[in-house]
Amino acid sequence: MPKPLTLGEIASRLGGRLVSGAGILIEQVGSLEHAGPRQIAFFSGPRYRAQLAATRAGAVVVPAAAAQQTRLPRIVSDNPYAYFARVSQLLNPAPAPVPGVHATCQIDPTARIAASAKIETGAVVGAGAQLGERAWVGAGCYLGDGVSIGADTRLHPLVTVYAACRIGERVIVHAGAVIGADGFGMANEEGRWLKLPHIGRVLIGDDVEIGANTTIDRGTVDDTVIEQGVKLDNQIQIGHNCRIGAHTAMAGCAGVAGSAVIGRHCTVGGAAVILGHLSLCDGVHVSAGTVISRSIRKPGTYTGMYPFDDNASWARNTALIRHLAELHARVGALEKPRRKKRKAANG
């Protein structure tokens, strides 16, 4: 069970403006709809006003604009959801690994493993691999030759990290992820496919999180790079030679084809696709289900979703839609004199 904190202790540690109830004991976080008297919830805007009025939560985190919309004990924050996340971290700290290597593991004698690291049942650690302080390798994981795992990084069960890949500090890799498999690099010779050996690596920065069953391919020649603070959801595919900029977040089932470069502080919605060899500048936000088929050099939100059709019709309609705004302006200009005449006729 997490250690309870008073509302005053929470505000003292995390900041924010406390409005009454400093001594209230908070045991856990909860939603406005389901929280009880010893839980804290958050309120983000008018859409949830009815839930705020009806909540049984012991306290809430609210924005300044809503500070007077409830009589509950509350903490006022500029970003209630981020504050709520920090409260949850306080009340639900990550477990610390109990050092040790399970007897069923296969550890190459040349591997270097910190004394504070933990390796669970059936894991395999290859020649020359390195595990940093308090690294935690889950049951059934495979770490190839020369793999490097940084301090305080956790690999959940059945993660595979191919040879020579490097993972930074405080990284979380969820079950079933595969880091460093060969990319889909093939050359066509007279109708037959020739496999191109992939001699690059995958380099993952600090504070990255990688979702369950996500795959990140190693580079063909150069490395595939995931910069610090990147957050990848479940079942994402990152192709060979890609570079994902720092603090970018991608939702489930997104796909990034080989050699694409995505900037920093970008977001990519679920099931979006970014074609190969494209570049997205910093601050680009791709909506769910969107296919990015050309490079983007201006920050902003990009969306592209409309019904499928047979390919020939789709291509014609796409060409027309791209000029729709221009056509609308031309029609408006042609209609303007007629509107004036009708207005004059109607007095």
Of residues 34, 174, 240, 277, which has the active-site annotation?
Answer: 240
Annotation marks residue 240 as catalytic: yes
Please tell me the distance from the alpha carbon of residue 136 to that of residue 112, in angstroms, as a whole number.
14
Count of CB atoms situated within 10 Å of the CB of 175: 17
Instruction: Please give the distance of CA 75 from its chain centroid, rounded to a whole number.
Output: 27
Q: List helix spans (H) across 68-227.
A: 80-91
Q: Is the dihedral of CA 286, 287, 289, 294 positive or negative?
A: negative
The one-character DSSP state at 145 is T
Distance CA 280, CA 263 (A): 6
Cross-strand bridge partners of residue 8: none
Q: Among 87, 1, 83, 72, which Cα is nearest to 37's?
A: 72
Q: What is the DSSP string of 163-185?
A: TT-EE-TT-EE-TT-EEEE----
Give the number of residues written for the chain: 347
Contacts of 314 (CB under 8 A, 6+ apart): 308
Q: 331 in helix, strand or coil?
A: helix
Orientation angle between helical segments 324-345 and 311-322, nearest 10 degrees: 60
Q: Rounded distance, CA 108 to CA 4, Å? A: 44
State how far the Cα of 246 lies from the Cα of 253, in Å rounded to an integer.
20
- Quote the tokens at residue 252: 């489930």
- Contact criterion met (CB below 8 Å) for 98 and 118: yes
Query: Residues 218-241, buried b or exposed e (16+ Cβ, 10 A)?
Result: bbbeebbbbbbbbbbbbbbbbbbb
- Which residues are catalytically annotated? 240
